[in-house]
Structure 1
Amino acid sequence: MKVSILLPIYGRSIYLKEAIESVVAQDFQDWELIIISDPPLTPATKEIISHYIQKDKKIFFFENKTKLGFPASLNLGIKMAKGKYIARIDDDDIWCDREKLRKQIEFLEKNKGYGLVGGGAIVIDEKGKELYRFFEPETDKEIRNYILYRNPFLHSSVVFKKEIVEKIGGYNEKVPGACDYELWLRMGRLVKFYNLQDYLIKFRLPTSYRDKKSVRLQRIQRTLEKIQIIKQYKKDYPHFLKAILKDYLKIFYLLTLARCSKLDDYLYRKRQTSIWRA
């Protein structure tokens, strides 16, 4: 088995078929798909999963007896995985490039010092309409210069070496809102990074969520979490002071100007698609 794909779910079924179908459609077929769910599971979700595990013997399903949370479910999936590589997809995202896995695995096989490879994204709304698209920083040097500012890898886009993640202890379950970001920072102490300059995924962004108070509070909490994370890695990557200043300014913004949803939408898009990204 070459690659194990981890798909954690939390009951919703609205986009699940699209996510699974995009995996099945890959031209690289040496994979297993491990679906892991926290309870409760809706009847509609159960029906979708049952259909696919009966249809394809490479698809497996595990339901946690209790709520483990996102990073714990991913760590469980890594323990179950038989593949040399781990890939990720969320239940509301889509792999839009049928050659995604092949391209990423070929890169890792040919470039032995690398342990993590991602790619670009087409951002879509709840109905699947394209909003915009962007690439992440490409080379290892560019990524390292950028990584303390913000996460340079979309979780649903990545493929990484299982042995490296096992060596460093898997996802950090103490930082559930930024467990992927913290994992990349630890991985970077051992391996090189790369982002393919191809649009590998469709990343679903709800168009009406950012003006809600509860979500703004979540964004503030995630930013505070990120600040604590990058303090641990300030000696491993450059631009720590600029990065932490940026995060404190972001908190101020979220407490004030982010209440205007139109402005927040505009600035979010500019941050993703222009030099504002840094």
Structure 2
Amino acid sequence: MSQTVLVTGSSSGFGRAAVHRFLDQGWNVVATLRDPSRWTGAPDGRLLVTALDVRDTASVLAGVAAAVERFGRIDCVVNNAGVGLFAVFEGTPERIIEDVVDTNLYGPMRVIRAVLPHFHRQGGGRIVNVTSSNVTVPSTLMAAYSASKGGLHGFSEAISYELSLRNVEVKVVEPGLSPGTNFVGQTTARFGSSEVPAPYAAYVQERAATFDAPPPPGYFATDDDVAAAIHEAAVDETGRFRWRVGADALDFARARQASDEDYDAWRRSHFAPAR
């Protein structure tokens, strides 16, 4: 019998690529997104496209119920839905920070709460949470985003021990930037322009320009690279917990493994404002 995976945030990027990866591997797939009309693609008997807003408990419960009604079970949940934020913390309205944390941290918690009863009835399951390389190295002007993804990583690792008692495995996939990532554009499109207090203006422009600089070929992970890691985590039987994806994510990991003194020098060289 084919296994079933539910993927949040399936409208584009990592989530959409993951949907196609699992379909290619023979899974039943529940592609969830806030607005199902945004899904484009040919119909498939192993694909259910349904609404699920991770910020709303009723929507989460309805999406999980629709998955179980269609396929009879859920074997794996991929918590991919998330939102970026590139902004000065001091100039960011509280409602925006709350939305980022609600989507990136509380959202996966809601999905996990909703799916655990189904996992327990069938004797186990798998959770794959998509975090960020900001978990390893919190990046400048991404304080709220780093807090939300760092919280998701800590939550994932901590809950993995207790859920192992119920045959539920928890994994994390930690992507770096991808070629399509545009934190500045995402922030403007989703929230409008946050206020940039005058003392920060030059630094914000300097850092925003780094997103436009072309990376070395192959340096950043593609959506397909991340989707492959998500699928690998979903079927892994080795006990591995963490998948870092992208050369930048691996560079961050190496920097963090240095001595405290060397890491402090490295992070200041990368992110500290010029004086």
**TM-score surpassing 0.5?**
no
TM-score, normalised by the number of residues in structure 2? 0.34
Structure richer in strand, relative to its length: 1
Structure richer in helix, relative to its length: 2
